Amino acid sequence: MKLRTLVAAVLVAFAGTTLAQTTTAPAKGTLKADRAAVKADRQAVRGDVKQLRADRKAGNTVAVEADKAKLKTDREKLKADREKMRTDAKAAKQARGEKKAATK
């Protein structure tokens, strides 16, 4: 009896959270801004890599360490912006699907 109660409670909890999720489309232009941010982040990472290579070639060990730290933070920012872009695109796609289904 206890196992059934536990299973029922878990099912209700998961079903409730699934049904409670409503999608809201991101504001118009959000995806375009996200893409621009990702593009800028990619350019920053490329520039950091070039700078790191140049400093390594010159033998500037202090600058190499600074370049590594900057490259690491820029890569983290790129990763975060990419994830935001993906979630916004997914939400927009889902909202379009819901809108399309509502019009039928």
CA distances from 24 to 9, 30, 90, 98 (A): 28, 13, 11, 10
Query: How far is the C-alpha of 97 from the C-alpha of 23, rounded, in Å?
Result: 11
- Using pLDDT thresholds of 50, 70 and 90, give the confidence band for residue 87: very high
45-82 per-position pLDDT tens digit: 999 999 999 999 999 999 999 999 999 999 999 999 99
Which pTM does this prediction carry? Answer: 0.69
Q: Are the CB atoms for 91 and 26 separated by under 8 Å?
A: yes
What residues does each domain of the chain span? 2-103
Q: Name the percent of the chain in helix, strand, coil, to the closest 5.
A: 90, 0, 10
Number of C-alpha atoms within 13 angstroms, CB side, residue 55? 15
Q: What is the dihedral of CA 42, 48, 50, 54, to 10 degrees?
A: 180
Q: Are the CB atoms for 46 and 67 separated by under 8 Å?
A: no
Query: Running DSSP on this structure, what letter comes out for residue 24?
Result: -
pLDDT of 23 strictly over 60 = no
25-51 per-position pLDDT tens digit: 778 889 999 999 999 999 999 999 999
